[in-house]
Amino acid sequence: MKDVIIACDFDSAEQTLLFLDKFRKSKPFVKIGMELFYSAGPDIVHRIKERGHRIFLDLKLHDIPNTVRKTMKVLSHLDVDMCNLHAAGGSEMMKYAVEGLTREDDSRPILLAVTQLTSTSGEMLHDELLISSSMQETILAYARNAKRSGLDGIVCSPLESELIHKEVGEDFVTVTPGIRFADNETADQVRVTTPAKARLLGSDYIVVGRPITKADDPVAVYDRCCREFCGE
């Protein structure tokens, strides 16, 4: 099932809830990132969930395995549908994360590994991160490590979705930020594409932030995303 996730990158609970008030006929899937979570705390998760929204908690954990396991155990008590960590933390960290996130009844949210940020260019990968492999080779290796570690999918640019499904599995979830309409500026992201193209490339979920949240009519832009990506 394909879906559009709105990145609610606001700095307060009040701004976020006022924004969500605009959606009277639908309950979009919502991403809570670091800015909002650090500003409003875990309570914002409960308040948004009470309104009937699904939640992607985007905190991108990256630490020693034991710290990540204990943190995921805390997050497991929040009623979120999806959360993530950095694949660069390695296989042991990812396995510990699965262990910590899994509740006593064996349920847990979808767990994703962030491969490379959509702001990372090939030049940055080589010159600053000192990774000699290509972007696609790096992301594919991270995805395979994530699957072997028991994760459900990855966060990647839409440009890598097709490769991931082909090489790692159709059931391995791809969540893709870096979505812009053809008439939008790309801002600080360099590996981007449109909702329609992301659909063709096989993304399972797209994450759309500023094109929706900064729009004069966010609901209309969200509906446009759904039509182009989900065929609705």
Q: Residue 184, SS3?
A: coil
Distances (CA, A) of 192 to 68, 168, 183, 225: 30, 22, 13, 15
Q: Are 225 and 208 in contact (CB under 8 A)?
A: yes
Q: CA-CA distance, 85 to 232, in Å (whole number)?
A: 31
95 given a catalytic annotation: no
- In contact, 68 and 55? CB cutoff 8 Å: no
Which positions ≥6 away from 109 have C-beta within 8 Å? 57, 76, 80, 81, 82, 83, 101
Which residue among 60, 73, 95, 197 is the active-site one?
Answer: 60
Look-up of token digits 């034991």: 66
Q: How far apart are CA 53 and CA 135, in angstroms?
A: 34
Enzyme catalytic residues: 60
